[in-house]
């Protein structure tokens, strides 16, 4: 909006001048018009406001994982775009100081509790930022340890794991959980005599899995969720944590957009729509771009 005002500044000023010339009470109208200094302040504020708009658009995206960008975006915004410059006007400096204070009153970058928050853990679980270069040494160590601690409580037993047992010695009333998680395969006569000579895959330790994840190459152009789907078997514990944290939206804007869509569908003249139909219409509205034309 301000960009449009500045762009059409000369046109607006000329229009106001013409209006003033045709009005008897000119003094009252002049009071509400912008002075040259106020025009300069608006123009100087635009770069900072553009940065705020960019942060908003990044955090409210719907086609990528937004939670993993929260900490990096805020820190970049604080350290790059809210730093006062010598050439800034006094009003612009005051704006940056006040805006910075408001952010820091809600988000303390140096707080150790932040290191264990979803904003930090999700950034580590995003392969693009997995090395933790966006964190200081202390925060990085705390975040890495928190992820490893959470990995300890994750069962890596797969639902399709094959366990070779002698089915003749296992009753039909065996532990239902074991039968659900493991597929029984009857032992052959050779295996009954000489045993199973096939080596079962060794379980990778937590430290080995985490180290392999940190060292693996990653293409930034790769879709984050597709990457985790492809590497789920290689990093089973981390994949479960990724599902837990990367699915968190950073804002409630996406859900508010759905309410807005529903509000556009249900009007005074369409207030008797079946809820099932409304649900389907909202779904189609938000997902039609994913369907083949």
- What pLDDT is attached to residue 181? 46
Higher pLDDT, 139 or 192: 139
Write down the pTM of the prediction.
0.70
| pLDDT category of residue 114 using cuts at 50, 70 and 90 | confident
Range name among 32-46, 136-150, 193-207, 215-229 with the lowest pLDDT average? 193-207
Distance CA 260, CA 265 (A): 9
In the chain, where the domains are located: 2-110, 157-202, 253-290
- Alpha helix ranges (H) inside 161-235: 176-181, 189-194, 206-215, 224-230
Tens of pLDDT, residues 117-127: 999 999 999 99
When the pLDDT of each residue in the chain is averaged and rounded to a whole number, the result is: 80
What region, left, alpha or beta, does residue 140 occupy, with left being phi > 0 and alpha being psi -120 to 50 degrees? Answer: alpha
Q: Which of 152, 125, 111 is nearest to 245 (CA)?
A: 125
- What pLDDT is attached to residue 287? 82
State yes or no: pLDDT of 104 exceeds 50. yes
Percent pLDDT > 90 in the chain is: 32
- What pLDDT is attached to residue 27? 59
Which SS3 state, helix, strand or coil, does residue 152 take? helix
| pLDDT category of residue 227 using cuts at 50, 70 and 90 | very high
Tens of pLDDT, residues 162-205: 445 544 554 555 554 444 444 445 556 655 565 555 544 456 78
Contact 237, 253 (CB under 8 A): no
Distance CA 82, CA 86 (A): 13
Range name among 74-78, 148-152, 180-184 with the lowest pLDDT average? 180-184
| Start-to-end CA span in the chain (Å) | 35
| pLDDT category of residue 246 using cuts at 50, 70 and 90 | very high
């Amino acid at each position: 909006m301000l960009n449009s005002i500045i762009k059409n500044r000369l046109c607006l000023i000329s229009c106001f001048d013409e209006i003033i010339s045709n009005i008897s009470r000119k003094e009252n109208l002049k009071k509400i018009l912008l002075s040259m200094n106020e025009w300069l302040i608006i123009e100087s504020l635009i770069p900072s406001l553009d940065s705020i708009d960019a942060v908003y658009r990044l955090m409210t995206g719907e086609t990528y994982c937004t939670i993993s960008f929260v900490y990096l975006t805020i820190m970049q915004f604080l350290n790059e775009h809210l730093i006062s410059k010598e050439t800034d006007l006094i009003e612009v400096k005051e704006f940056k100081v006040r805006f910075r204070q408001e952010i820091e009153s809600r988000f303390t970058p140096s707080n150790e509790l932040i290191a264990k928050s979803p904003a930090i853990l999700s950034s580590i679980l995003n392969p693009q930022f997995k090395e933790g270069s966006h964190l200081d040494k202390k925060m990085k160590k705390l975040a890495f340890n928190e992820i490893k601690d959470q990995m300890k409580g994750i069962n890596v037993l797969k639902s399709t794991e094959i366990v070779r047992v002698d089915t003749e010695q296992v009753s039909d009333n065996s532990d239902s959980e074991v039968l659900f998680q493991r597929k029984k395969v009857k032992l052959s006569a050779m295996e009954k005599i000489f045993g199973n000579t096939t080596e079962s895959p060794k379980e990778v330790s937590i430290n080995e899995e985490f180290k392999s994840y940190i060292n693996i190459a990653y293409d930034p152009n790769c879709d984050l969720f597709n990457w985790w789907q492809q590497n789920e078997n290689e990093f089973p514990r981390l994949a479960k944590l990724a599902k837990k944290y990367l699915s968190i939206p950073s804002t409630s804007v996406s859900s508010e957009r759905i309410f807005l869509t529903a509000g556009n569908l249900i009007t005074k003249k369409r207030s008797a729509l079946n809820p099932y139909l409304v649900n389907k219409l909202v779904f189609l509205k938000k997902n039609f771009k994913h369907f083949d034309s």
